[in-house]
Amino acid sequence: MSRWLFLFVILTFLPNASGTLLCLIYLIFSIGPSRYPSLLRRGRLRLPLSRIRLARKPPSTILSPPSPSQFLIEMDDVCCSTQLIDGDGVFNAAGLEHFMKAVKLAECGLSYAVVSIMGPQSSGKSTLLNHLFGTNFREMDAFMGRSQTTKGIWLAKCAGIEPCTIVMDLEGTDGRERGEDDTTFEKQSALFALAVSDIVLINMWCHDIGREQAANKPLLKTVFQVMMRLFSPRKTTLLFVIRDKTKTPLENLEPILRGDIQKIWDSVPKPQAHKETPLSEFFNVQVVALSSYEEKEEQFKEQVASLRQRFNHSIAPGGLAGDRRGVIPASGFSFSSQQIWKVIKDNKDLDLPAHKVMVATVRCEEIANEKITYMAAMEEWLQLEEAVQHDLVPGFGKKLSVILDKCLSGYDMEAVYFDESVRISKRQQLESKLLQLVKPAYESMLGHIRAKTSDGFKEALDKALERGEGFAIAAHDCTQVFMSKFDKGCEDATIEQASWNPSKVRDKLRRDIDTHVASVRAAKLSELTTLYEGRLTKALSEPVEALLDAASDDTWPAIRELLRRETKYAISGFSSALSAFNLDEADVDKMLIKLEEYARSVVESKAREEAGRVLIRMKDRFSTLFSHDADSMPRVWTGNEDIKAITKTARSASLKLLSVMTAIRLDDETDKVEKTLSLALMDTSDGGATNRSIQSLDPLASSSWEEVPPTKTLITPVQCKSLWRQFKAETDYTVTQAISAQASHKRNNSMLPPPWAILAILVLGFNEFMTLLRNPLYLAVIFVVFLVGKALWVQLDISGEFRNGALPGLLSLSTKFLPTVINILRKLADEGQQPAAPVLDRNHSKRYRSGVISDSSSSTASSNLTSSENETEYTSPPRQQ
């Protein structure tokens, strides 16, 4: 009746929209929750309608028109009440995550508190929480009867309490809905509240204090029993809220309550480790009394407001929960609550320290994974990673260190309140994973630094060598400079969070530099060696060839002196050039020895080359000495020369050349090669031709010389004998020609035949002479035959054909005779077909031909014949008469 009267008064004085709104609010609060319980049960997130309250005024002013200030609308705090665990024990993980995001619980760190309330069913727990913390938990409607209002466990944020305080409204105990025997959920919810709460409000009736069978006794036993299941329980504040306080002072009620609590504590079975543990070790017990809400509402609200002040800064030293232990960071509250409820549901003992480590492990891993994901998607890191794949990045180490520090500091800020050992361990793992993520980029950076340093070193070394610097000095200076540059580049790429040592890359760079230095050194030494070898080749080849061609007793001494002088000069220059390479003394000696050996090899190679042409050299020498006189003029065989002596001298010189060419004599050792050759080849007239044993008499019947090693032998004795035989065969013809030329010259120089020959011609040729005088035609025929014969002689080169022997000459003349005759006849026929000369000149021509031309032809033919004969027989140019 009073409700309708109140609505009538409002609509009378406030007929406008404000009156209508006020009526609507009043109906929602007074009628809605009791009429529509099923609607409210379906949704787990309730609207914060309790935030809009009607400010009560004194009765004297209730009939006056209210002002807008009479409605205190608290919209700044949102309690966001959420059912955490339903009546069947199902944990609402999604709702809790939504709740944490709505109230921003994860940002609180350790600066938050959890308050829970437990007590008998319908004892006014939700009403107390709504007035105490400004929440909007569903309250029992007394007009609808006393029944279960809260099912499971509800969660909400306290309004206007600092620090952030979360309150849990537990399902009431001793309810008829669950029955007398179904206390499982009561114990589970009590254990859950003790595990997660810093402050536990125990709501009890004042008239139950001092009674043995009071309603709070089973509740306290439940609390103390489940406490024993916590291996190392956190110290929890038990705030006993005495409801409907009577006239009995609190000072008298509190000792009785504490005594009952102690009796219950002593009666609860305890583990052996906690047999003597006092109650104060586990609980901080405090007592507060409140007046009846229904009978003394104003007084009740004043007492609640006073109690509310005690929850401000409750976790500070001296606060309600100032001595709490084992707090889980706010970001891990959701996971921790889920795991605690899971352990409780599985009816397992709850080890809070281990649970704390487990929560810290999971949360720290989650935070670390978030930071790794954040790092992998960070734009700065992606740009840096892309850039370092292609080229050097200045300030790489500093930039990457800043990025890593940002991720690690973010981890530290979020994980600062978790278990220290776990936090440090997971931080190390995070740092290791982050470093593994960036290590390829770091290695790429070092690779770029090494490659750039190596290229710069090669370029600088080449320029230094082009400027003429010594190789060793240039290589050392360039190595020092560029290794220093590499070290500076590594310092620039160093990551503060990493202890990576670039020594392996540095060693690889040093090996690359050393390899390049060795390669360039080898190339330069090869060029230098080739240069001095070329100089030696040029300085030795032609002089040695000239000395061997001269072939005298001083040939090999002169070659030895030439080799010694040129080798000394080359070694001096080569040794001076090698000093710029800073080589070991052993290596220098080795290279100098090789150069000496090369010089000897040049001489030996040239000697072997000349030995292969010894026969040509011998024939040239023989021809030179035999065909030229002492003044190097061509020799003319006049009949006064001693051809035998000249031949012996020329052959002796050729034999000297052969003896010089038989062996290499660079070691100044004497041998008897020349004597052996002279005895065996020149003194053949004294040889023992009558001895049948050729092997015992012929010193050249051997494949080696007595005092000459095979390695130094150029021509063996047997080869010398063969060469001499061939030499004699090819020079005998020249001697024969000289003898023939000398004889012919003697014949040509005699003016008249001997007297007996003249007499014989006169006696025997008188008849023929008379016949020629009587018939001059015979003289013309003889003259024509002479001309034809002379022409055939010249055309066929008869003397030249017979130079190679009689049989080859005849065979050659037989093939050439007929074509030559035909050729001569063709020329005569061509001349006969020429036009005739004028008559006036015919006689003159006849006279000219018969007189001058004929004589001239005869003279020319004779001269040609003589010239041809001289050329073939004397092997010397024709003389001018």
468 is an annotated ligand-binding site residue: no
125 is an annotated ligand-binding site residue: yes
Q: What are phi and psi of 761, to 5 degrees?
A: -65, -40
| Dihedral sign, Cα of residue 576, residue 581, residue 584, residue 587 | negative
Q: What span, in angstroms and rounded, lies between the C-alpha atoms of 42 and 83?
A: 11
**Residues in a beta bridge with 237:** 199, 284
120 is an annotated ligand-binding site residue: yes
Assigned token pair, 9: 């008064």
- Sheet harboring 153-157: ordered strands across? 82-85, 153-157, 164-170, 112-118, 199-205, 236-243, 283-289
Angle, helices 420-466/471-493, rounded to nearest 10 degrees: 150
Alpha-carbon Rg for the chain, nearest whole angstrom, is 69
Which residue type does 508 have? Answer: K
Burial of 409 (0-12, 13-18, 19+ CB in 10 A): exposed
Neighbour tally for 47: CB within 10 Å: 12
How far out from the chain centre does Cα 362 lie? 40
Angle, helices 125-133/297-311, rounded to nearest 10 degrees: 60
Count Cα neighbours of 657 within 13 Å in the Cβ-side half-sphere. Answer: 29
Q: How many helices (DSSP H) and strands (DSSP E) are in the chain?
A: 31, 9
Assigned token pair, 597: 């050996």
- Nearest Cα to Cα of residue 220 among 207, 234, 203, 235: 203
How far out from the chain centre does Cα 552 lie? 67
- Give the Å distances, CA to CA, from 607 to 532, 549, 664, 671, 675: 21, 10, 7, 17, 21
Assigned token pair, 97: 């995550």
DSSP letter (8 states) at residue 135: -
Q: What are phi and psi of 394, to 5 degrees?
A: -60, 140
DSSP alpha helices (H): ranges in 31-124? 32-35, 37-42, 93-103
Question: 372-396 burial, b for 16+ CB within 10 Å, e for fewer?
Answer: beebeeeeebeebbebbeeebbeeb
- Nearest Cα to Cα of residue 333 among 112, 115, 158: 112
Q: What span, in angstroms and rounded, lies between the C-alpha atoms of 652 and 626?
A: 11
How far out from the chain centre does Cα 880 lie? 89
DSSP alpha helices (H): ranges in 494-584? 503-550, 555-578
Q: Tell me if 470 sits within 8 A of 502, measured CB to CB.
A: no
Q: What span, in angstroms and rounded, lies between the C-alpha atoms of 852 and 356?
A: 151
Neighbour tally for 238: CB within 10 Å: 19
What 146-151 contacts at long range (C-beta under 8 Å, 24+ apart), as own/partner pairs, is 146/122, 147/122, 147/177, 148/121, 148/122, 148/172, 148/175, 148/176, 148/177, 149/122, 150/125, 150/126, 151/41, 151/86, 151/87
124 is an annotated ligand-binding site residue: yes
Q: Tell me if 150 sits within 8 A of 138, measured CB to CB.
A: yes
484 is an annotated ligand-binding site residue: no
DSSP letter (8 states) at residue 850: I
395 is an annotated ligand-binding site residue: no
DSSP letter (8 states) at residue 136: -
332 is an annotated ligand-binding site residue: no
Count Cα neighbours of 139 within 13 Å in the Cβ-side half-sphere. Answer: 21
What DSSP letter does each residue of 668-707 carry, written as one string?
A: -----HHHHHIIIII-GGGS-TT-S-HHHH-TT-SSS-TT
652 is an annotated ligand-binding site residue: no
Q: Which residues are annotated as a binding site for GTP?
A: 119-126
Residues comprising the binding site?
119-126
